[in-house]
Amino acid sequence: MRKSKYTGTWAVFDEDYKRGFDDVFRRYAENGIKNVMYGGIALIFDIHKEYYIDTCIDPYTEIEYYKEVGDVFGTKEILIESDFNEVNSIADKYGLSLQLVITPGVSEPIVAKHPSTAVVDIYGNKSPHWMCPSNPDVQQYFFGRIEDILRRYKIGEVELDVICLDFYDPQVVPDWVLPELYPLRQLAIRNCFCKHCIEKAKKAGLNLAKIESEIKVLNDEARSLKYEQFKKWDDTIRGVFDIIRFVLNHPMLIDWLRFRASVVEDFVFDIKNVIKKINSDILLSSDLVSPSFSWTLGQIYSEQPRLTDITKLMLYHKRIGSFEVKPLRRIKSAIPQIKDEELMRQYYRLKGFSGPLTFDEFEREGIDAENIYYEVKKAKVEVGPDYPIVAGLVGDPPATAKDVKEAVKMAYKGGADGYMLHQWYGNTPIENIEAFGEQLRELGEING
Ligand SMILES: [Zn+2]
Phi and psi (nearest 5°) for 127?
Answer: -65, 135
Q: Is the alpha carbon torsion for 415, 388, 166, 261 positive or negative? A: negative
Cα(257) to centroid(ligand 1), Å: 13
Determine the distance separating the centroid of ligand 1 and the alpha carbon of 220, expressed in angstroms.
Answer: 21
Tell me the three state secondary structure of residue 420. Answer: strand
Residue 326 alpha carbon to ligand 1 centre in Å: 26
The pLDDT value given to residue 1: 61
What pLDDT, on the 0 to 100 scale, is given for residue 170? 83
The residues whose Cβ lies within 5 A of ligand 1, an ion, are 132, 134, 192, 194, 197
The CA 200 to ligand 1 mean position distance, Å, reads: 9
ipTM (interface pTM): 1.00
Q: What is the pTM of this model?
A: 0.96
Q: How much is the pLDDT for 68?
A: 79
CA nearest to 355, candidates 318, 393, 409: 318
pLDDT of 72 reads 65
- How high is the pLDDT of residue 73? 64
* CA 376 / ligand 1 centre spacing (Å): 30
Calculate how far, in angstroms, residue 198's C-alpha sits from the geometric centre of ligand 1. 7
Question: 85 CA to middle of ligand 1, Å?
Answer: 37
pLDDT score recorded for residue 199: 98
Separation of CA 122 and ligand 1 centre (Å): 11
Query: Ligand 1 centroid to 206 CA: how many Å?
Result: 15
Q: What is the mean pLDDT of each run of 10 residues along the chain (448 residues)?
A: 88 95 98 96 95 97 85 77 96 98 94 97 96 98 98 97 92 89 95 98 97 96 96 95 96 97 98 98 98 97 98 97 95 97 97 97 97 98 97 97 98 98 95 98 91
Which candidate, 118, 115, 112, 108, places its Cα nearest to that of 70?
Answer: 108
Residue 152 CA, ligand 1 centroid: distance in Å: 31
Distance 391 CA to ligand 1 centre (A): 30
- Ligand 1 geometric centre to CA of 271 (Å): 17
**b/e per residue 320-343 (b: at least 16 CB within 10 A):** bbbbbbbbbbbbbebbeebebebb
The 3-state DSSP class for residue 352 equals: coil
Question: Which contacts qualify for 332-338: CB closer than 8 Å, 24 or more apart?
Answer: 332/359, 333/179, 334/179, 334/225, 335/225, 335/226, 335/227, 335/230, 337/227, 338/227, 338/230
Cα of 388 vs centre of ligand 1, distance in Å, is 30
pLDDT of residue 67: 81
In the prediction, which pLDDT does 76 show? 81
| Angle, CA 439 vertex, CA 437 and CA 445 arms, to 5° | 80
